[in-house]
Amino acid sequence: MLNTYTQYKIIITTLRQLLGTSTGVLGTSTSVLISFLTLIVMLYFLPVKAQTNQVDSGNIRIHFNTNEPDGSSQGRPSGRKGTGSRGDCPNVEMPLTALVPIYNSRLAIEENPTLWFYIPFQSHQVSSSEFSLQDETKNDVMRTTFNIPSQPGIFGLKLKTAKPLEINKTYQWYFKLYCQTSKSSIPIFVSGSLRRMPLSSGLEKQLKAATTPRGKIAVYAQTGIWYTALNELAALRIAEPRNPTLQQDWTNLLTDVNLKDLANKPIVGELKN
């Protein structure tokens, strides 16, 4: 397909030939007509080119800002990696891992966010599992079990609470796997925190200005809203697993929080109860 500039040149050349300009002799009226037609052609093509540049999302760079919206850059560390040898689970090359930053990993805007984990075990290696979510007074908000898939990979766990998470409240979660049937067996687990933040007018304005899903993800990431950015990008990757741009976005986002080793692990889907 010809690009805009080539089409423009062809049309102008054709107009000149039709009006007899190839002889090099132009009357005043013919020159005026050529100028008028040239202006029409320019007005037709230039807005199209501008519009194409406006919707092109190729220049978007998704980068996670480790600072929270209030500017803080540290906080309580998350226990995002389980051990590969302690407990009753078999040794693995890469341990059970929660896909969260080491620090300030707790922001989301959804009423019931989705958390993502790398599970290195096969279903026959795990006898039971448990996920729990507690409020600031250590009361259970959610406690559930889930099925371990047949193959290792990255999985999402959507929170299903009786009521939406409260804004500006911090919750603590625990993700446990038991590899022995005995009640006294030692689980392998990861833990972290979660806080639902309000959708401020400034953030809402930025999201409205973002014209593509990738653009919105870039806003979440730059604002430090990890859970939402990761979940939105994971959904895009599941929908388009061979999209090289999304693959690079995924690698960049995980690299920003020192989880590059997981970038090539398969994103399988959601854990089922």
Which tens digit of pLDDT belongs to each residue from 225-250?
Answer: 999 999 999 999 999 999 999 999 99
What pLDDT, on a 0 to 100 scale, did the predictor assign at position 181? 77
Residue ranges per structural domain of the chain = 4-55, 97-270
pLDDT at 6 over 70: no
Could you give the count of Cα atoms lying within 13 Å of 220 in the half-sphere of its Cβ?
24
CATH homologous superfamily of 97-270 equals Immunoglobulins (2.60.40.10)
Burial of 88 (0-12, 13-18, 19+ CB in 10 A): middle
pTM of the complete model: 0.75
Percent over 90 (pLDDT), the chain: 59
pLDDT at 262 over 90: yes
What CA–CA distance (Å, rounded) separates 38 from 232?
46
Residue with tokens 């480790």: 66
Helices and strands: H and E segment counts in the chain: 6, 9
What pLDDT, on a 0 to 100 scale, did the predictor assign at position 158? 96
pLDDT at 115 over 80: yes
Contact present, 226 and 110 (Cβ < 8 Å) = no
Q: pLDDT grade, residue 264 (50/70/90)?
A: very high
